Structure 1
Amino acid sequence: MKVFFSILLLALLAGCTHGPALRIDHSYVSANQNSRVQFVVLHYTNASLERSLALLTHGEVSSHYLISDDDKGTIYQLVDENRRSWHAGVSQWDGRTWLNSSSIGIEIVNPGFTDTPSGRVWHPYTEAQVQSLILLLKDIAKRNDIQPKYIIGHSDIAPQRKLDPGPLFPWKRLADEGLAIWPDAQAVSQQQALFAVNPPNAVWYQQQLARFGYAIEQTGVFDVATRHVIAAFQMRFRPQNFDGQPDAQTAAMLQVLNSQR
């Protein structure tokens, strides 16, 4: 009998210790909400598939998706979209910082570039990778209501230290699919003629680049940091020449893009 009462007492004490069960009423849903995901950031891995998987699953960095360089452009999901992955690092776009918390990261298996005695050689993306990327981006953008202007490259959000996804990334093709922005060619041509006669100064470039989304100090001079941002912009919209030098065509593209936005 004593044993029975001892067991009963312990059970009662255990019930008092744990307290009542958590109960949450889910019958009401607020209309004032949207996705936490505001951006998609695109990268190249600068490594093989095997090495990329190792780094992104057991290294210090991660991404939500990885697109293989096999003949199918296989897509691996490595992190749930509801969780934060470590792909952006110190970053800023359109006034928002530390984009790991508000973005989906997509890595694409690609060596990036090779430096040779005759110059730097950039490596192209495969057709299978591009097709897989387009399908993936359409799905992500639709589910999270992401505008094309917020599908960006690592070099956009960190122009002082990153070059990916590089000059051979198919931004124009993404724009044709409604997944990126691109300047109207006729408008650029008209504006370029005006800037050829009256080129804008450093203050104008810094203001326009900041308006477009880049993090850039308003120093009023074409310093090294400003030229890095100009080069990042050129690499995306004029990949055949991204030397960081201000010129009429670069200014025209920037003016037109800001007008379109």
Structure 2
Amino acid sequence: MSSSFRVKRSLGKLALLTIAAVAGTLTLAGCAGNGSKSARGDYKVEWVESQNASERVRFLVMHFTTINFDESLRALTLPSSAPVSSHYLVPENNDPSYPHPDLRVYQLVDESRRAWHAGPARWEDRDQINDQSIGIEIVNSAHCHPPVETSTEEIGEEICFFPEFDPEQMELVIALSQDILARYPDISPTRVVGHGDVVPERKIDPGPRFPWQQLAKAGISAWYEEEAVKRHMEYLKGNSSSDRDSIRRRFAQWLADYGYGIDPENASEEDITLYTRAFQYHFRPWKVDGEVDNHSRAILLALLEKYFPDKLSGYPDLQSTLLAELENPG
């Protein structure tokens, strides 16, 4: 492999660099506490730490590459007419283009710098995701074929293929993600998202095979409680008087409350379908159809209950008895 593809640091070095970063932080904190001065050029700087600041990094975005390791590395590191990059690239086993006998995490962009991986995207109240995130590209050969035009005006659906992710590869992704989260406390479970979550009109990665539940069990991403889904399903079955448009519009509001960048009031029918599909790719991958059914609604309510319980009281269609049960489960 040419020197231009030299790995900046592997996963084995991440722990060492983390220790060094923590030590540096402690040193600075000590300086701040003592109000000490340092010389910088021809002037002195006195360090007084402000409490009015936050981490730059707020999100962790997962991607799949759709191409093999060698092509992925070239696409993410070499100049092109449409340049892209990510902070990390994680290879997979049984890839003839991968040059090592063991899997290694490749760092392509320093975490302090902006990688070009999310493009125009939105999550929560932020729309400059590249500026506020770390991106992980995961080698996986998932791919889609464009819709086939028929003799009528109708256009068929695209055909997609989603291979399973390599288990050893996912162990690396989990270890890397845990290391990143330890350095950036602002990345909460609901802020670990897929590319398709933040730009559903253009992307679907990391796709329906990505093991989000496994990441949640490792303390990385969000997932729902099954008992909560069952409880919300029972409630929704007994409250089916709303018309389809009202249900879909209300679901769009719930999506926005969770973090999705949809505008509930002005979203078109197509917008609601796209964002519903993105949600289903992430949280109900065995059935992705864009339909706002009771199961999708119950999963989203269970997620809101777990991560944003204060927002449930703002839904007038939820019975007061149900809200009382959520507030006092005993």
Give your verdict on TM over 0.5.
Answer: yes
The percentage of aligned residue pairs carrying the same residue is 36
Counterpart of 2:12? none
**AA of the residue aligned to 2:160:** R
Task: Give SS of 1:93's match.
Answer: coil
Partner of 2:28: none
Greater shift, 250-259 or 70-79, is seen at: 70-79
Residue aligning to 2:10: none
2:142–2:160 Cα contact (<8 Å) kept: no
Match of 1:112 in 2: 142
Alpha-carbon distance in 2 for matches of 1:195, 1:139: 40
8 Å Cα contact 1:202/1:221 also seen in 2: no
Q: Would you say 1:134 and 2:174 are equivalent positions?
A: yes
* Letter aligned with residue 233 of structure 2: Q
Higher RCO (C-alpha 8 Å, min separation 6) = 1
Distance, in Å, in 1 between the alignment partners of 2:119 and 2:145 is: 25
- Aligned-CA RMSD value: 2.2
1:208 is aligned with what amino acid? W
Q: 1:217 to 1:29 in 2, by over 3 A?
A: closer
Match of 2:76 in 1: 56
Question: How do 1:29-48 and structure 2 match up within 5 A?
Answer: 29-48=49-68
Amino acid at match of 1:137: S
Select the residue among 74, 79, 88 that pairs with 1:65. 88
- Partners of 1:90 and 1:158 within 8 A in 2: yes
Secondary structure of the structure 2 residue equivalent to 1:130 = helix
Alignment-derived partner of residue 78 in structure 1:
108
Structure 2 unaligned blocks of 5 or more: 1-39, 95-101, 149-158, 308-330
Aligned to 2:125: 95
TM-score w.r.t. the length of structure 2 is 0.69
Indicate conservation of the 8 Å contact 1:94/1:213, yes or no. yes
Deviations 1:114-134 (A, max 9, x none): 5599x5321111011100001
Q: Which moved more, 1:56-65 or 1:164-173?
A: 56-65
- Distance in 1, Cα, partners of 2:44 & 2:170: 44
Q: Which residue of 1 aligns with 2:291?
A: 245
Q: Report the equivalent of 1:122.
A: 162
Matched residue, 1:176? 217
Task: Give the distance between the partners of 2:194 and 2:44, measured in 1 at CA.
Answer: 40
Q: How many residues align?
A: 242
Structure 1 residue 26: Cα displacement:
5.1
Q: Distance in 1 between matches of 2:161 and 2:223?
A: 25
Q: Which structure is larger by alpha-carbon Rg, 1 or 2?
A: 1
Equivalents in 1 of 2:229, 2:252: separation in Å?
19
